[in-house]
Amino acid sequence: MIHPFPFGTIAAITIAALGPPIEGAEPTIASIVYTVHCAEGRSFEVQLAPDRAIIFAEGKRWTLARMPSHLFVRYTSKEGALVIDADFVALVLTGDLGFTQCHLLR
């Protein structure tokens, strides 16, 4: 069974650990903001909700819809795709293939 948030027990995450809200983030019931670190010093923030993911990277914002998957958590739009499998994160944005070797920061 795939849980809405495949990152372990949400109860262990406190609001204080999430830090201040990200400018432009949407107030969503049951959403959590994570930091993702990638190769070459790149990183991004992702706000996850049961129906969507909002990516914040390098001053830009992308909203991706959750898609069904039995193997991992997947969000897509015409602007890109986000796949989350435990701590491994794959992000491909239109015109930007530079987010490689990404991992969720817990």
Tens of pLDDT along the chain (106 residues) come to 344 444 433 322 222 333 444 555 555 456 889 999 999 999 999 999 999 999 999 899 999 999 998 888 999 999 999 999 989 999 999 888 789 999 998 7
Are the C-beta atoms of residues 89 and 83 closer than 8 Å to each other?
yes
How far is it, in rounded angstroms, from Cα 27 to Cα 71? 28
Are the C-beta atoms of residues 100 and 39 closer than 8 Å to each other?
yes
Tokens of 66: 């959750």
In this structure, how many other beta carbons lie within 10 angstroms of the beta carbon of residue 38?
18
* pLDDT score recorded for residue 8: 37
